[in-house]
Each structure stands twice: as structure tokens, then as C-alpha cells.
A and B are shown apart, each in its own frame.
Chain A
């Protein structure tokens, strides 16, 4: 009997599938997810609300608490980071919660890998969809920042371009984590981790970097580098971009390989 893993690179007649054919197969699952999401559009749309609320809170409250700075000045600091947070939330919600339901509860992927699709196709498809979702949320938030004149158009376009690798990185990381979850309650631990990262990665203030004990930990967080990248691009400081870009792309590539491997293992059992 052919295992799903063995089917990864072969067609129905046993010939290896080309990269293009594999991507087309993955795209079918992306289209299925989009069709499903259209039926649940309210849940999709409400995810825009939370980062917008954080923005209001940052403008009126935290800017005054932190250093009594001009709210608009603080907004240019916190706005790009909130774009990164939006991208992260969109990608991670899709690749942790929703993928967990399909993987463990609905057992959707078990049915899918009985077709010509392989576990690797499934992993790539979910990564693609998570990336699309993250970029859509990021784009929505960028529009908000453009309306409030927090960002210039060139800065916003650069941030939109950066949303793609950031969303890819978080989608791939989300899939790796989800493949290792066995119980629905573990999702709460993941959500807690995301929440802690959101607060500690310098979204509102780089306060943690003054403390040596926290500094090393903060540097390990992927969101720290996503925030740095967004902030540098928002003010078109391209010299500061390369280090975070390398970290984001490196982590995305490593997590992609790990996610495909984990899905091959999980769906070949």
C-alpha cells in the first residue's frame, strides 16, 4: 500500500509530480478554505477590530502614560508594530486554531491525503492560506494608518511588501506548533504564548530591552524582528532592514521545512 508520504511526489500512474503540479494541488485546498471562509465572513471581519482597538488605546492612553509624548509621534512608533501584530494574528489564528480543528477534530486532512494530495501539499496549502490571511489583515491595518496619516504611501507599500515574509514565517511556525498539539486545551497555552510575545516584543515600548535578563529572551522572539522590520520600512530607513529581513526569511525557511516534515509524519500514521 502506498503511504501518503510516498504519494507526495508521484502521480496516479506513479510518475513524479512537477513543482507546478504540486502547487496547483495545494492551491485547490487554498480555494476550499477561501470558499469556507466566505460563509463565515463575520468571524474573518471581526479580527480587524482588536488591533484597531489597540490603536485607539495607544493613541489616547499609553502614549501619555509612557512618556507623555505627542500621540501622533507615538503612533508612528507603535503603528508599524501593530501592523506586524495584525499580520501575526491573522496567520497564527489560521495555522493554529483552524488547522488544529481540521487536523485533529474534523480529521479533514485524513480524507484529503486519500486523494492525489500529499501531506506536503496540505502543509504548503495551509501555509499559503495563512500567509494570505495575515497579509489581508496587515493590509487592512495599513489602510487605517494611511487614513490617520501615520504612514506615508511609500512607507505603507514597503510595509505591505514586508507583510508577506512575516505572514509566511508565522504561518510556518504555527503549523509546526499545531502538528505537535494533541489536545484542544493545549491551544490555550499557544494563545498565551502569542499574547506574551505580543506584549514583550516591544510593540508598545522597548522597556524590556533595558533589562539584561529579558533582552536575550526578547531577541529570540520572532515578533521582535517583525516589529523592527516594519518600523524601519515605515520610515524608509532601508539600512536597518537587512538584519531583521535575514532573520525573518531564515526562520520562515526553517519553519517551512519543519512543517512539511511534521505534516508528513502526522498524516502518514
Chain B
């Protein structure tokens, strides 16, 4: 495991060198979403009903969703890029596995990086949105929410990274994968409105998405209405994290053993 952390450390230090370029899409984009949906639309929108049946102000509902979506997208897009770069232009992954690091350790390192990136983005955005979410109880739910977001992001990043690892050919394919996977994920995951607004078959389908469960759990934690359903949501997010990581390990082991 400490060897896997070397990989995580490498990607974190490279991110540090490009923090300004990374900050624009990571933080400004969600803040514009918060401005439009939570502040502007939130002024006229009423309450929305959560899956638990309790009501929540739309501004709070959408703000928590946007934070989660931003953390997930940032980590997933970043890992897609680095898995693609690791295989294609410079083949760094093959160089890495000529050292004592194994493909499994490499994959765990990448998953760890995704987790940290997701968690950090969620934590920073939560602090930036305190004027909307309120300061009162944030100390309690911030760490839980951050970890949920990070776990969710890492899970998706692992899966998407695996997809790119399987089908990577050109930057265009990367762009398509990013567009076709991330946009529906964010749009259909109860970020902007509850999934109950969809017709029943669609609701059932989107109910399988990890971000839906992360959002539900986070909102319950925020409301202080945690129950068994919250635990189930958290477990599903955790399950996705494991599936994502296992997928990434399998893809890297297969491709780097050739």
C-alpha cells in the first residue's frame, strides 16, 4: 500500500503545479451553477420533496447536489485524462511498472488520487457555499459529505478510467467518452431536481447511479434525518467505489501484462 501512495503523491504534486488552470473549471463552473440554480432560480422555486418524504428548500437541495457533481466530475475527468496519457502519448504506465510498482499498486494509487481530488473539491466548494447552506451545522456534516463525494468520485473515476483504458485510441474518443458519460451522469442524478420527477421506468434506471445515492445520503445528513436508508445509500456509494477500483485494477493488469 505505501507504494501505491507514491503514485497518489506524484499526481497530487503535478496537480499543484497546474492549480490555476485546474481551478477555473473545477471551482468557477460550479459556482456559476450555484448562482443560477440556487440563487436566481432558488428565489422563485418552492420546496422539493426528498426521497424520505421530507421537504427541503430548493436552494439547499441544488447546492448540495452541485457540490457533489462538481467533485465527481473533477475527479472523473482528471482520471480519464491521466489514464489516457499514461497509455498513449508517453506510455508512462509501462515505465512505472518496470519499477518495483505493480499494476495493482498503480491502479490503487490512481484511485487514491481520485478519492483525494474528489474530497478536496467537495470540501472547498462546501466552504464556498456556506452563505447558502448556512454555517450552523456544517462542521458536523462537512467531513461526511466530503468523504461521500470523494468515494463517489473515485468510484466513477475508476470505472471511467477503465472504459478509457479499454477503448482509448485518440483524443476524440476520450472527448466522446467524457461527453457521453459525464453529462448524463450529472443531469440525471438528482442534482437539479428529485429523481421522482422522472417517469417510473426512468426513475428506476437512474436509481442505479451512484451519484443519486451520494446526493440522497448527503441531503439526509444535512437535514439531520439520517436513518437506515442513509446507511444503505452510503453502502451503495461504497460498493461503487469498490467496483470502480476493481475495474481499474483489472484493466491496468490486463493491459500492462501484455
Judge whether B32 is part of the interface by a CB distance below 8 angstroms.
Answer: yes
CB–CB B29/A192 < 8 A? yes
Judge whether B224 is part of the interface by a CB distance below 8 angstroms.
Answer: no
CB–CB B184/A53 < 8 A? yes
Specify which chain A residues have a CB less than 8 angstroms from the CB of B21 in the assembled complex.
185, 188
CA distance A191 to B25 in the complex (A): 8
Specify which chain B residues have a CB less than 8 angstroms from the CB of A208 in the assembled complex.
36, 40
Q: How far is the CB of B122 from chain A (nearest CB, A)?
A: 20
Give the nearest-CB partner of B31 in chain A. Answer: A196
CB–CB B43/A207 < 8 A? yes
Contact of B193 among A49, A65, A188, A207 (CB under 8 A): A65
Q: Knowing A40-B172, A188-B21 are in contact, say whether A62-B43 is a contact too (CB < 8 A).
A: no
Q: Which of A26-66 contact B (CB under 8 A)?
A: 40, 42-43, 46-47, 49-50, 53-54, 56-57, 60-62, 64-66
Q: Which of B151-180 contact A (CB under 8 A)?
A: 172, 175-176, 179-180
Q: Knowing A43-B172, A188-B24, A207-B43 are in contact, say whether A60-B36 is a contact too (CB < 8 A).
A: no
Specify which chain A residues have a CB less than 8 angstroms from the CB of B45 in the assembled complex.
65-66
CB–CB B44/A67 < 8 A? yes
| Number of chain A residues close to chain B: CB under 8 A | 34
Contact of A50 among B40, B183, B192, B193 (CB under 8 A): B183
Q: Knowing A46-B176, A188-B24 are in contact, say whether A65-B183 is a contact too (CB < 8 A).
A: no
Chain A interface, >50% SS class? helix
Q: How far is the CB of B67 from chain A (nearest CB, A)?
A: 17
Judge whether B33 is part of the interface by a CB distance below 8 angstroms.
Answer: yes
Judge whether A221 is part of the interface by a CB distance below 8 angstroms.
Answer: no
Judge whether A219 is part of the interface by a CB distance below 8 angstroms.
Answer: no
Specify which chain A residues have a CB less than 8 angstroms from the CB of B41 in the assembled complex.
62, 65-66, 204-205, 207
CA distance A205 to B36 in the complex (A): 9
Q: Knowing A46-B179, A54-B187 are in contact, say whether A65-B25 is a contact too (CB < 8 A).
A: no
Specify which chain B residues have a CB less than 8 angstroms from the CB of A42 in the assembled complex.
172, 176
Q: How far is the CB of B64 from chain A (nearest CB, A)?
A: 15
Name A residues whose Cβ lies closer than 8 Å to a Cβ of B.
40, 42-43, 46-47, 49-50, 53-54, 56-57, 60-62, 64-68, 185, 188-189, 191-192, 195-196, 199-200, 204-205, 207-208, 211, 214
Name B residues whose Cβ lies closer than 8 Å to a Cβ of A.
18, 21, 24-25, 28-29, 32-33, 36, 40-41, 43-46, 48, 58, 172, 175-176, 179-180, 183-184, 187-188, 192-193, 197-199, 202
7 pairs from A and B in contact (CB 8 Å cutoff): A65-B48, A65-B193, A188-B25, A191-B25, A192-B24, A204-B36, A204-B41
A196-B29, A196-B32, A205-B41 provided; 8 other pairs, C-beta below 8 A? A40-B172, A57-B188, A57-B193, A62-B41, A65-B58, A67-B44, A185-B18, A188-B25
